[in-house]
Amino acid sequence: MATSRLQLEGDDSVHLHITHANLKSFSADVRFSPQMSVEAVKEKLWKKCGTSVNSMALELYDDSGSKVAVLSDNSRPLGFFSPFDGFRLHIIDLDPSSVTTGGWLEDTSLVEKYNISEEDYAKRTDSFRKFKEKRVSQIPAAAEAKTKENYMEDLCANIKVGDRCQVDPGEKRGMVKYVGRAESLGPGYWVGIQYDEPLGKHDGMVKGTRFFECPPLQGGMVRPDKVKVGDYPERDPFEEDEI
């Protein structure tokens, strides 16, 4: 493909493709003024690739891949070497200890990882572990208890299967049908209720586990602190408020 020698109107800059001998994945397209010195060009490229000006050698290639010139004189203007849009400027790093050598800028597996001993990590006050410990220490005791298997077990002492009860909120009445753990619902103790009316969500089966039997939509599983047992007879649906 023939090189385009058309420039933007009023703009004499040249658009060059940049490659690097050590950085295989490095590629950039940069505009340069032909009046820039080779040293100024190197200064501009140093900020993009990391190769220092004193260690940088530049080669100019045309769009067919043929070498056109070696930019060896830092005082010469770039235009002296007749670059055109689409030409390639190739960077060679002459410093064997340069940051671009060895491939570690592109392959992070070659970079030595920082390791810290368990003892030194434990001494740090700004670690994630310290942050987590601080957060845990700020959790209220009640919230921490929710994670225990015996959560609300003490409240079940006076709740027995067959007891009449009232469940809050809503003062819903019914009969206790189950008291115990329900792992599918969460840790701790639960109470299964058969409501007198279809105010529930199921028939005693929750998430594939059968806890008790009752008519559809009259079953509920609640925490013990929501249940009051005692003399809670079934309400008469025909009872009218006194006038």
pLDDT tens-place string over residues 41-67: 999 998 888 888 999 999 999 989 999
H/E stretch holding 174: strand 172-182
Q: Which residues contact 6 (CB under 8 A, 6 or more apart)?
A: 85
Check residue 143 and give its pLDDT. Answer: 52
The residue to which tokens 């025909």 are assigned: 238
The answer to which of 50-54, 137-141, 171-175, 180-184 has the lowest mean pLDDT is 137-141
More confident position, 23 or 19: 19
Residue 171, φ and ψ in degrees, nearest 5: 55, 45
Among candidates 18, 11, 17, 10, which has minimal Cα distance to 85? Answer: 17
Average pLDDT of the residues in 12-39:
89
Q: From residue 187, give the alpha-carbon distance in Å to each of 137, 159, 168, 210.
A: 21, 18, 21, 17
Detail the DSSP E strand segments found in 76-144: 88-93
Query: Which amino acid, residue 124?
Result: R
More confident position, 243 or 209: 209
More confident position, 114 or 180: 180
Q: Record the pTM.
A: 0.41
Among candidates 17, 19, 12, 47, which has minimal Cα distance to 30? Answer: 17
- How distant is the alpha carbon of residue 139 from its chain centre? 24
Check residue 37 and give its pLDDT. Answer: 95
The pairing of strands 14-20 and 88-93 is parallel
* Distance of alpha carbon 35 from alpha carbon 80, whole angstroms: 9
* Distance of alpha carbon 45 from alpha carbon 197, whole angstroms: 80
What rounded mean pLDDT belongs to the chain? 85
